[in-house]
Every structure is written in structure tokens, then in C-alpha cells.
Structure 1
Amino acid sequence: MAHVIETVSVLSSSPGTQRTLKVHRIGNIGARPKAYFQASLHANETPGLLIGHHLLSLALAADRAGKFKGELVIVPFANPIGLSDNVLGNQIGREALDGGGNYNRGWPDLSKGLDARLEGKLGADGDANIDAIRQALRDTLDALRPPTEVQSMQTELLKLAIDADFVVDSHTELVAIAGMVVAPWCEAMLDPFVAEIDPGLVHVTDTPTLFDGTCSKPWHDLRQTLGDRYPIPQGNVSVTIEMRGAADVSDELASCDANAIFRHLARIGVVEGEFDPHATWSGEKTPHEAISMMRSPVGGVIVYPYPLGTDVQAGDVIAEIVDPNADDPAHARTQIRARRPGRLYAAVSNRLVRPNDIVIKIAANDFARD
């Protein structure tokens, strides 16, 4: 049993600056199963930082008690660049201020050339194939030469997670109920974890490619190209959790979320612990095309008549924009109506909105999944 703390340097962007990632390795270092957790890749999404704090406490207590069978890697803050993106007291953290774009976009395509790297290295043994694929993915990342600070940080995060059995990337919306983003090829394997988190909704999508999909998709792609010749299990199961809104920060919530993650770590054999083997989730998953993002037709002050989590019908008024410049208050409101039936799940924190802003999101239920 062990607790090892590592410091990983990121490419310096300018003289006098050097950002680093802190990495906690708990349990039997190098043992299987290996789980990975990271928080606040979007650095303005604070709840994950506190979830990681509570998860580390649980892990260290279990390690002291000799309960670890595998390894848990915790990156308590996945974006030291974004943590410093503060403008006039406002934490930015989602988009790089140097023009580098969204911190959770632009990931390298690790499937490209992977089959060539594995030429002559796969066979009839699925477990041996897992080892070979993991090594090929590590080699792919080692061969990258990221030219920017952001891409360097992304590459280092991938190196930490790419050979994990289970990966959790913790995010939030601005104002929201709890949700999860699940890739189709990981969906069935994540059902027990969904039951532990018990979110208000689950999106099943591979669009756009996020950190979790970058970790898990190469296995899916290899099965598409080589699966008829060799057994290729899903050696990496990854998920994005959206833990409510950015201001939903409390010990009560974070402790509950960390315990849910820890129960699943027990379920998959990383650590000894209690979990419900029959846990199920009663919700209905939504595909990407079911997400309805409603935009404001005008600027003004937005008010919401329903709390998030409410199920609405098409045509229901789900928001109103109040024009403070109106001469007559009786004619100051512009209504926004739901285009589709579904669940209200995300809104905006800044209630002074501009024309064409996305102001509320609906997970529609007028669809049929295959």
C-alpha cells in the first residue's frame, strides 16, 4: 500500500512561468484495476475540486486500512492554466485566454495509426491484447511533441489516464441538475456507475470528442477495424460527470458524490468496500439529438418560471426576457417556449442576457432510441 505524490511539469508558455499538475497515486501502484479521477478541466467548474478532496480522504483511509487491491490516480486540479484565468475577479477557465480554445476540445486522435503500431502484436488472448494496446497508446502519446502550453497539459493528462481501466472526468454546467455524458461504446458498462451517481439525466453521445472519449474511443475504433480478427475488449471505460452547477459547492454534496464514486471503485475491484450489486437507475437516457438548446431572441433580464429538473411540454413558457427599457411594463416581456417536450436541466448564471445567448437547455423525450 502506498500514497505517492508526483509533480508533472507542463510546457512553459513564457519566461518566468512554469505550471504543474499534482498527481496522487494511492493503493498498489501499477496494480489492476486502475482508476483515474480528475477535476476542473474547465477551471471555472469548482465542485469537482471539492469532490476530489473528499475522494482523496476516502482513498487514504482505505489505503491505511489495507483495503486497496488496485490503484487510484487523482489529479485534484486538471487545469492549472485555467485556474489562473481570472479577469477582473471573474474566473474564466473554460476557454484559454491565449486563443487556444475550449480546454476540453482539440484532443489528439489516438486511433490514427494505432492499428499499424499493433501490427504483429495482437493474438487470440484478449488480456494480452489489452496489454499490447495500452502500450501502443502510451507509445503514441510519448511520440507527441505538443507545441503549446495547453496541448502540453492535455498530453500529460492523457498519459496519466490512457492506461486506466476506469476514468472519471468531473465537470459542471453553469446552473444545472446533475448529469452525465456517456459514450455509446461504454454505455452498458457504466450502468452501475450511473445508478451510484443518480443523475437527473444521462446523455449518450460521441459528439464532440471530450477527454473521456479520447481515452476510450481507440478501443472502439480498433474493434471496428480489427475485431473480426482478434478479441479486443473495452480496456478503458470513461465517463464525464456533470455535477450540477458551478456554484453548487458544499461538503454535503461533494462528500455524497465522492462516496458514490468510491462505491463504484469497490464494485469494479479497485478497493474493498460496500456497494449495492443490484443498484439501478430509473431515468431515461438521451441521445445527442435530443438536446434542445434554447436561445434568447432579445436582450434583457431573464426569469425562469420553473425550477430545473421540471418536465415540460412543447409550447410551455420556460423563460421570459424582461426589457428594462420598455415604456410599458405590460409589454416588457418576451416569452421563450419549449420547442420539444422534456426535462429542463441547465440555465445561465448571468441573468442579464444578450440576443442569441443559449439561456436554457432541455433534454427532450420525444425520441426513440435504437
Structure 2
Amino acid sequence: MEISDIIIAGDTQGVEWRLPVFRFKGTKPEAPRTYIQAALHANELPGTALLHFLLEKLRRADADAAILGDITVVPQANPIGSAQSYFGELQGRFDLGSRTNFNRDFPLISLGERDDLLEDFDRYSAVDRLKRQLLHMALGAELVLDLHCDDEGLQYAYIDEAFWPEAADLAAALYMKAVLLSDGASSAFEEAVGHAWKNEAEDRKRTTLPGRLSVTVELRGTRNVYPETARRDADGVWQFLLGRGVVAGSRADLPAFAGKAVPLDNVEMIRAPAAGAVLFHRDIGESVKAGDLLATILTKPGMPDGSVEVRAPQDGLIVTRVSTRFARRRSDLMKIACAEPSSAARKPGTLEA
């Protein structure tokens, strides 16, 4: 195992950021190379906990010569976001300087342009240099896992349709309840990786990518950071690596993925019709029917007409819910995975900012 720090110079004098990287050299050149990172949104820490325990397994495997394919692990992928505290609260999703989501605006390039990411580096801001370093490392692999979490959520993933259903092995290994099949139309990290692979050949764009995977894994909610769940999640990733031939060892007999797999167009984004205190009537993991009461918004507490009901537009599974109990008008409340497309207009790309 090799541990090194990537140094990212700050945008002001006397400031620099250190990005710790763990590397394991495989013994079989033909085995898949793997890249795993966590906490790109710096306040989303279930993935960091998972990787802490996964690295224990990888160190033991390395000592036993059981690492078959090269593995790169970045347990805290965003030291810039980790240092952003505003009135005592970690602000890890958006860069406070540029107001940009740390998981957006990754360069959309072809695989052949990978090394260009690190050229003329001084012309870029610290955040852009961080993004370019992360993307450069990921494009050296065939299997890429970007570990995130939601506010309150089930275990689920965003997976480009180009990788499905082959990626059902990861969904099964992590006991996911849902998979949201993305359209690859955003500049988020995992979609930037997929974009480079799809555009590997200059003359045609690939629509399927067998043997490869770039995925955003959502490890439940921000508060689900416990040793028991982190160890279980690490076991799941380990089983995935076993199945893909990245590491050697005996594999558990896992049940097939039995959750919902729906395209993003079939996700109902439930938004608050008005501002007020939120009273949820339904929880994550519950199946709902069209017309079911999901939440009540107290728009004018104490008044006879002081509340507004929010109901399910169609049948589906509640995948996420916000943890805040005050909503602004049109703020997100829930995601519901449904069998039919939503009637609400949706732009290509990600569901949220």
C-alpha cells in the first residue's frame, strides 16, 4: 500500500490543501482497476466511514497478495469543503467562494484528453484543480464509485443507463432499495467519467460500456454514520470487488437486486407549494398511492385556513425526505420512485442543484 498527499495550492497566499490518496498495486494486469472516493460533498460522511473499514480489509488483502487489480481510494475527497464552516455548521455541498456545487462543473472530455486535465494547472482555481485531480485519477480505472448520502434516504444509487443492468451486482451487494437510472446529461463527477468513456472513440459515441461502471452511491442519510452500518457497507463493497475480480477470496451468496430501478423521468420531486413548518405523514421506505397525504405545510399557524396539504401525484416508493422541518416555497420535500413518468417537466441532468 502506498499513501501520498496531493497538494492543492490555495487561491490566497499561505494556504494549501492536502488530499490523502491510498493506492494498492494489483498482481494481475488484466484485472479491473478501481477508484473509490467519498465526501466530495464534504458534509456527507457515511462514505468516509465505509472507506475507513474497507481500507482495513484492503490492507489485509494486500499483505496476503489478494489485490488483483489496482485500487485507488480517497476517503475525504474534498478538503476545501471540509474547512468551510458558516456559523458553526459545515458547508460541504457548495463552494462558498464560487457558489458552485462541488459535484458539478467537472470537465466533459474524451478519455484521450485525460492527461490534459493536469496541464497549465496554475490557470485554474483551487476548486477546479481539485476537480481535475479527482477526475484524472478516476479515468485511470474501469470501476468508479463516488460515495455520497442524501438528507434522509434509503440506500440507493444514480447509475447511467449505459451500465445497467450489469451494475445490479453493486446494488445487490449494498442491499439497495432503489436505483435511479440517469441520462448522463450533467457535469456531476460520475457522469463526467461516463462521458469520457462514451466518447473514447472519436468517430462514435458508445451507448453501452460493458465491464465498466461509474456510479454515485447514496448511503442513506447524513446522520447515518455508525460503526455497524459502515462495516456492513464496507462488506458490501468488498463483495462487489470480489465479484468483479478486483480482489481474491470467497464470495458470499448474495440475493439478486430486488429493489426498484426507474429512470429519472419517473422520479416525482415533491416540492412545497408554500412556505411554512412541515409535518410529514409518510416516511422514507414507504410505498404510497396516488392521492395519499404526504405532508402538511403550516403556512399560517393557528388560522382556520393556515395549512396546505401535499399529496402523492402517483403510486411509488419514497426514496428520500428532507430533514429540515421548515420549507420555503418550491423547496424539495421528497423523491418518490414511480412506475410511470412524472407529468412535471424535467430538464436533462441531475434532479437537484
Give TM-score, length-normalised by structure 1: 0.85
Inter-partner Cα distance in structure 1 for 2:25 and 2:202: 35
1:211 aligned to 2:211?
no
Given the alignment, which residue of 251, 262, 286 partners 1:310? 286
Greater helix percent: which structure?
A: 1
Cα deviation 1:292-333 (Å, max 9, x = unaligned): 1111122222121122111111111111112463245xx443
Structure 1: 5+ residue runs without aligned partners? 112-132
- Counterpart of 1:142 in structure 2 is 118
Q: Distance in 2 between the 1:278 and 1:196 partners?
A: 7
| Letter in structure 2 aligned against 1:326 | G
2:19 is the alignment partner of 1:21: yes
Q: Using the TM superposition, give the Cα deviation of residue 235 of structure 1 relative to its aligned residue in structure 2, in angstroms.
A: 6.6
- TM-superposed deviation, 1:276: 4.5
Are residues 213 and 14 of structure 1, via their aligned partners in 2, closer, same or farther at CA, if it must alter by over 3 Å? same
Contact 2:25–2:67 under 8 Å retained in 1: yes
Corresponding residue for residue 74 of structure 1: 73
Which residue number corresponds to residue 123 of structure 1?
Answer: none
1:170-209 to structure 2, matched below 5 A, reads 170-205=147-182, 206-209=184-187
Alignment partners' CA distance in 2, 1:182 and 1:144: 32
Could you tell me which runs of 5 or more consecutive residues in structure 2 were left unpaired when the two chains were aligned.
343-353
Equivalent residue for 2:34? 35
Q: How many Å separate the matches in 1 of 2:252 and 2:296?
A: 43
Q: Is the 8 A contact 2:118 2:133 kept in 1?
A: no
Q: Distance in 2 between matches of 1:211 and 1:246?
A: 20
Q: Distance in 1 between matches of 2:162 and 2:194?
A: 8
Change (3 A) 1:220 1:144: farther
> Which of 203-212 and 102-111 deviates more?
203-212
| Aligned alpha-carbon RMSD (Å) | 2.3
Q: How does 1:121-140 map to 2 (within 5 A)?
A: 136-140=112-116
Percent sequence identity over aligned pairs: 28
- In the alignment, is the contact (CA less than 8 A) between 2:108 and 2:187 conserved in 1? no
Which residue does the alignment assign to 1:126? none
Q: Which amino acid aligns with 2:325?
A: R
| SS at structure 2 position matched to 1:285 | strand
Q: Distance in 2 between matches of 1:7 and 1:352?
A: 41
TM score, norm. by length of structure 2: 0.89
Kindly tell me: are residues 284 and 99 of structure 1, through their superposed partners in 2, closer, same or farther at Cα, counting changes over 3 Å?
Answer: same
- Look up the match of 2:348: none
State the shift of 1:140 in Å: 3.0
Shift of 1:233: 6.0
Counterpart for residue 166 of structure 1: 143
Is 2:337 the counterpart of 1:338?
A: no
Largest Rg, 1 or 2: 1
Query: Given that residues 170 and 242 in structure 1 are in contact (C-alpha distance below 8 angstroms), is that contact kept between their aligned partners in structure 2?
Result: yes
1:349 alignment partner in structure 2: 323
| Residue of structure 1 aligned with 2:9, choices 8, 11, 17 | 11
Shift, 1:81, TM fit: 0.7
Q: Relative to 1, partners in 2 of residues 1:327 and 1:188: Cα closer, same or farther, differing over 3 Å?
A: closer
Moved over 6 A (4+): none
How far, CA to CA, are the matches of 2:319 and 2:57 in structure 1? 30
- How far apart, CA to CA, are the structure 2 residues paired with 1:29 and 1:20? 29
Corresponding residue number in structure 2 for 1:296: 272
Partner of 1:272: 248
> Which residue type is aligned with residue 88 of structure 1?
F
Deviations 1:245-304 (A, max 9, x none): 111110111111111111111111111123247741112311011111111122222121
After TM superposition, give the deviation of residue 189 of structure 1 in Å: 2.6
SS of the equivalent of 1:107 reads: coil
Q: Tell me which residue corresponds to 1:48.
A: 47
Q: 118, 128, 142: which one pairs with 1:151?
A: 128
